[in-house]
Amino acid sequence: MADDLCSFVKDFFITKAPKKSPLLWRMIVLVFAMVCGVYICSICLKQISTSTKTEFLDIQVIEKPCPEPNIEPREIPYVHYPKPKTYSRAECACNPVRYFAIFSLQRSGSGWFETLLNNHTNISSNGEIFSVKVRRSNISTIVETLDKLYNLDWISSASKNECTAAVGLKWMLNQGLMQNHEQIVEYFRTRGVSAIFLFRRNLLRRMISLLANQYDKDAKLLNGTHKSHVHSPHEAEILAKYKPTINSTLLMHDLRKVEETTNKALEYFKNTRHMVLYYEDVVKNRTKLMDVQDFLKVPQRDLKSRQVRIHKGSLSNQIDNWNDVKKTLTRTQYESFLHADN
């Protein structure tokens, strides 16, 4: 059609060209020629743009490294394909990875829980990374640390092979988590990180463990070395021999404060994908560990830990001033702590 239009203009010029005002006619011809040229160009451009578009699509398909995982759309933000700077994930480059953080308090069974997770071939939980103060100085250092961890560039004894399917850390509430909660919630939202809350129901037993562990830092009951976790019943027995004295004046206040902190943390992270676990339930019911593996979307395994529990049995044998403590807590909301056997 473009050709037709052009030949029409040519014919018109040849047949009708008068000699009266050649300038005018030349102008008309020029305008026609220009219209004709623009028309041809526009057709050509259209063809070029569609062909580059398809080329672009082809390139995208080729460059996309991993096939779409077969998951529900709401799961997509939680699935990642990290490319570590320090090594290649090799044949596991397309194994999806989930990001998690265990939120807990000291002496709540999180060390034991973490050894259970790390017994899974595909889980890498890298310990209390933020116990080192400089890493939690401000939100920039926190983000930098988390980026490195979730990119699978954090090398620790918990690092697995290239086929890690869930990577995370153990993060105590008092390690910069509560102070920077707004930015951390945002980081978790944008990066698709899930949280596992691990708390202890019996806060009195937790207090005993805390005091005993503090005492051992100086006393070093095990052949002159301080140990927070042990691997033999014999070692557990030695550590459990120490019976702390609990300040009964402060007891109610201290218990309430712990409860407040945990409630606040749950409130801050209520919109983060999370699950809540209690140490006592995991001890009694191993199905809880299957729930955790489902939550992290890793294949279910029977998980083992070599750690041995330090304090067990009746509480009356574990506290030096048992009668004071008993009197303080009787007929309060914490009375059940005295009787619970876990």
Ligand X SMILES: *[C@@H]1O[C@H](CO)[C@@H](O)[C@H](O)[C@H]1NC(C)=O
Rounded to the nearest whole angstrom, what is the least distance from the CB of residue 77 to ligand X in the complex?
18
* Per CB under 6 A, 214 contacts ligand X: no
Structure tokens that stand for 55 in this block: 């080329």
Planar angle of CA 285, 287, 291, nearest 5 degrees: 130
Q: Which is nearer to ligand X, 36 or 199 (CB)?
A: 199
Q: Which stretch binds ligand X (CB under 6 A): 18-26, 59-67, 75-83, 287-295?
A: 287-295
- Tokens coding 249: 């004046």
**Amino acid code (one letter) for 143:** V
d(CA 55, CA 251): 71
Count of other CB atoms within 10 angstroms of residue 200: 22
Rounded Cα distance, 330 and 204, in Å: 13
Candidates 50, 51, 285, 336: give the one binding ligand X (CB under 6 A): 285
Q: Which is nearer to ligand X, 89 or 200 (CB)?
A: 89
Instruction: Supply 37's token pair.
Output: 């040229």
Residue 48 or 276: which CB sits closer to ligand X? 276
Which residues in the 102-141 window bind ligand X by CB under 6 A? Answer: 119, 121-122, 134, 137-138, 140-141
Q: According to the binding rule CB under 6 A, does residue 247 interact with ligand X?
A: yes
Binding of residue 330 to ligand X (CB under 6 A) = no
Question: Within a 10 A sphere around the Cβ of 218, how many other Cβ atoms?
Answer: 7
Q: Does 156 bind ligand X (CB under 6 A)?
A: no
Counted residue by residue, the chain has a size of 342
Determine if 88 is a binding residue for ligand X (CB under 6 A): no
Rg over CA atoms, the chain: 34
Which positions lie near ligand X, rule CB under 6 A? 95, 119, 121-122, 134, 137-138, 140-141, 161, 163, 165, 222-223, 235, 238, 247, 249-250, 285, 287-288, 291, 298-299, 304, 306
